[in-house]
């Protein structure tokens, strides 16, 4: 027995180089097959992001030094980009198509990972001043009452506006279901839709669907990017499996009985191929007299077992199936491996250098990916509750605390390390050496904040994609949004101040309904609490996903009134509800994305006006 084990070990050891070489060759085949996607992901996206940051930096210098006003460059570029795309589309549609495909490379990436860029406001939460339990109860009361009232008023004001303008047209539930079933592919490739999708989308009534001369890309691409990484099951494009399978002969013998490959659509991973293997029954050809026809056909051939032929081909089929499995594994987990290796390498930089940014950066990314892709929580309801922003921040705190105890053996250094997480030295202040000390380098939060500016610019994509909905429902959407802007700027500071909350917290509630990407510059312009704004915004989104649909049903809002549903959820629960609406009604998701984008843009513009800022401060302090 011992001799057998030793021989087995040596046999496995001798096969190790062969196995490594085989997997390396498979990786090279994968890299060759997916080279276009790899080049786009790991070369074009970083280059595009750097170009976008250079443009944002130039616009910021122009606004500060020439115009001399305080206005976020990211919001300015978002509005300029939206106007430029609309103008270019009206002038020369092919040029608009080319331009959109180019800017989609970095912008769609930023939209997909927008939730990750929200985490710095939560990570530095322990550095915020402590509040009393009375203030905590007041914050909860203001949040609940404000959420319910804003929800009800938005719904009924939108319905009233549609009735006054005559734009409230209900569509048959069968037409709506047909539209839902079409065009639900995710990703942001802006690939031309199929002929069936173009035909079905042209049948939509009252949706502002693109006509035959419209831009030929998926209308839900930008919405799917926003809805990515929210722990809500939305149909996503998995991998380019069909391209891989074109290079892999799934059936070596070419027999249809051997392998039946059919295209199916999975709820969570997108279109895949499901392979059904059928083993033929053993059939023997012999010289039996009871089968004269068979014997006459094979009278000069020896008896052959068809199962033996199958066994000979099974090894080749197994190798091809292994190739397909390895290709899918690399496609799905290559970024996990790269960031995992980065996390391991950053551990050494944390313990042997003074610069903590690499360790904190990779910790935030790895914990976020773990929450998004973990296989342990499969219940959709639980996944909605486990929001990736909150859960990844909690895991990051645990990792930071354990690392601090190992390195310093004192818990007080936990807050010291958190101070270096967000130093304020973003790309806009990277070259401002006079304002920072010699060893104040960008932290992980500053990198995420820099990327969030690209996400703000990326919000122009869903606005442009669904500009026809905006034009069609302009009179129904703009009045509720403007009234909501006025109510948020006036009522929250007044009420919060009179019940005893501080001025900073009172102004922080102004951004309660704004998506974090636009709420952050709004509250910063008004000198409010960004932390309070971030917490209330995420909680608003989770509440909207869990209770938004039932609450609208309770208010007797029809299911096919997608304008009211989309605007109400978009303005009250921001971008998080987009994932929920994509699984219910994509037209409501389009209205939702337009609503929170316009609402946030209006709030940023108003907060940059000096007189509006002074007025809000007067309400919060008088």
pLDDT, position 389 = 85
> Which of 58-72, 502-516, 578-592 is the least confident region?
578-592
Q: Which of 204-218, 249-263, 572-586 has the highest mean pLDDT?
A: 572-586
The per-residue pLDDT for range 299-349, each reduced to its tens digit, is 455 555 555 555 555 666 566 777 777 788 888 888 999 999 999 999 999
CA 184/CA 264 separation, integer angstroms: 14
The average pLDDT across 109-117 equals 89
Rounded to an integer, what distance in angstroms lies between the CA atom of residue 447 and that of residue 458? 17
Task: Tell whether the model's pLDDT for residue 191 goes beyond 70.
Answer: no
Whole-structure pTM value: 0.74
Q: Which of 197-211, 422-436, 455-469 has the lowest mean pLDDT?
A: 197-211
Each residue's pLDDT tens digit, 152-168: 999 999 999 888 887 66
**pLDDT greater at residue 150 or residue 236:** 150
Decide if 550 contacts 528 (C-beta within 8 A).
no
Q: For 260, phi and psi rounded to 5 degrees?
A: -115, 105
pLDDT of residue 450: 94
User: Is residue 277 over pLDDT 50?
Assistant: no
Q: Which residues contact 62 (CB under 8 A, 6 or more apart)?
A: none
DSSP for 244-296 reads: HHHTS-S-TT--TTTEEEEEEEETTTEEEEEEEE-PPPP-B----TT-HHHHH
140's enclosing H/E stretch is: helix 133-165
| Range with lowest mean pLDDT among 131-135, 232-236, 289-293, 539-543 | 289-293
Which pLDDT score is estimated for 193? 40
At 599, is the pLDDT very low, low, confident or very high (cuts 50, 70, 90)?
very high
Q: Where are the domains of the chain?
A: 131-230+466-621
Reported as type and span, the H/E element at residue 343 is helix 306-352
* Banded model confidence at residue 185, pLDDT cuts 50, 70, 90: very low
Mean pLDDT of 500-505: 90
Please tell me the distance from the alpha carbon of residue 511 to that of residue 524, in angstroms, as a whole number.
Answer: 10
**Quick one: pLDDT at residue 207?**
33
pLDDT in tens, 372-385: 888 787 777 777 77
d(CA 72, CA 525): 9
Per-residue pLDDT at 402 exceeds 70: yes
Of the listed ranges 15-24, 535-544, 589-598, the least confidently predicted one is: 15-24
> Is the confidence at residue 584, as pLDDT, over 70?
yes
pLDDT tens digits, one per residue of 550-572: 899 999 998 888 899 999 998 98
The pLDDT, as a whole number, for residue 324 is: 79
At residue 146 the predicted structure's pLDDT band, cuts being 50, 70 and 90, is very high
| % of the chain with per-residue pLDDT over 90 | 34
Residues 517-559 have pLDDT tens digits of 888 889 989 999 988 998 898 888 888 888 888 899 999 998 8
Distances in Å between the alpha carbon of 27 and those of 12, 326, 330?
22, 8, 8
pLDDT of residue 221: 65
């Amino acid at each position: 027995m011992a001799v057998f084990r030793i021989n087995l070990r040596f046999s496995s050891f001798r096969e190790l180089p062969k196995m490594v070489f085989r997997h390396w060759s498979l990786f090279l085949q994968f890299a060759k097959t997916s080279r276009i996607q790899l080049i786009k992901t790991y070369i074009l996206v970083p280059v595009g992001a750097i170009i976008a940051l250079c443009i944002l930096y130039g616009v910021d210098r122009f606004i500060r030094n020439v115009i001399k006003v305080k206005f976020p460059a990211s919001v300015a570029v978002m509005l300029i980009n939206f106007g430029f795309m609309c103008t270019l589309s009206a002038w020369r549609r092919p040029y608009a198509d080319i331009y959109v495909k180019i800017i989609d490379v970095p912008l769609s990436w930023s939209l997909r990972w927008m939730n990750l860029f929200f985490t710095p406001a939560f990570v530095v939460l322990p550095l915020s001043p402590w509040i009393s339990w009375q203030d905590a109860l007041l914050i909860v009361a203001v949040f609940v009452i404000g959420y319910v009232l804003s929800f009800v008023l938005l719904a009924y004001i939108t319905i009233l506006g549609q009735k006054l303008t005559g734009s409230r047209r209900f569509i048959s539930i069968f037409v709506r279901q047909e539209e839902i079933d079409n065009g639900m592919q995710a990703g942001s490739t802006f690939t031309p839709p199929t002929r069936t999708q173009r035909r079905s989308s042209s049948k939509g009534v009252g949706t502002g669907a693109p006509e035959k001369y419209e831009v030929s890309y998926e209308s839900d691409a930008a919405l799917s990017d926003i809805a990515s990484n929210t722990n809500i099951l939305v149909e996503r494009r998995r991998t380019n499996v069909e391209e891989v399978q074109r290079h892999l002969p799934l059936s070596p013998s070419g027999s249809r009985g051997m392998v039946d490959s059919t295209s199916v659509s999975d709820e969570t991973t997108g279109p895949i191929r499901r392979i059904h293997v059928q083993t033929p029954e053993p059939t023997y050809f012999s010289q039996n007299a009871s089968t004269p026809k068979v014997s006459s056909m094979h009278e000069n051939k020896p008896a052959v077992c068809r199962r033996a032929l199958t066994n000979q081909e099974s090894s080749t089929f197994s190798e091809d199936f292994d190739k397909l499995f390895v290709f899918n594994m690399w496609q799905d987990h290559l970024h996990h491996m790269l960031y995992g290796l980065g996390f391991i390498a950053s551990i050494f930089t944390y313990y042997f250098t003074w610069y903590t940014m690499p360790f904190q950066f990779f910790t935030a990314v790895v914990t976020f990916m773990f929450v998004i892709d973990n296989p342990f929580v499969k219940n959709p309801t639980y996944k909605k509750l486990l929001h990736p922003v909150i859960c990844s921040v909690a895991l990051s705190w645990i990792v930071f605390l354990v690392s601090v105890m190992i390195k310093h053996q004192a818990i007080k250094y936990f807050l010291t390390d958190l101070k270096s997480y967000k130093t304020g030295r973003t790309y806009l202040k990277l070259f401002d050496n006079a304002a920072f000390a010699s060893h104040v380098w960008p932290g992980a939060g500053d990198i995420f904040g820099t990327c969030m500016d690209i996400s703000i610019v990326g919000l122009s994509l869903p606005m442009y994609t669904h500009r026809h909905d905006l034009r069609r429902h302009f009179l129904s959407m703009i009045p509720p949004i403007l009234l909501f802007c006025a109510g948020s700027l006036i009522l929250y500071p007044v009420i919060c101040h009179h019940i005893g909350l501080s001025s900073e917290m009172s102004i922080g509630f102004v951004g309660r309904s704004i998506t974090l990407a636009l709420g952050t510059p709004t509250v910063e312009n008004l000198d409010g609490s960004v932390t309070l704004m971030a917490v209330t915004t995420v909680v608003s989104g989770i509440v909207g996903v869990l209770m938004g649909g039932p609450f609208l049903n309770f208010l007797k809002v029809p299911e096919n009134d997608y304008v009211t549903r989309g605007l109400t959820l978009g303005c009250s629960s921001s971008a998080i509800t987009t994932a929920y609406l994509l699984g219910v009604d994509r037209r409501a998701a389009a209205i939702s994305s337009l609503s929170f984008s316009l609402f946030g843009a209006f709030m940023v513009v108003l907060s940059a006006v000096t007189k509006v800022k002074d007025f809000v401060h007067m309400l919060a302090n008088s």
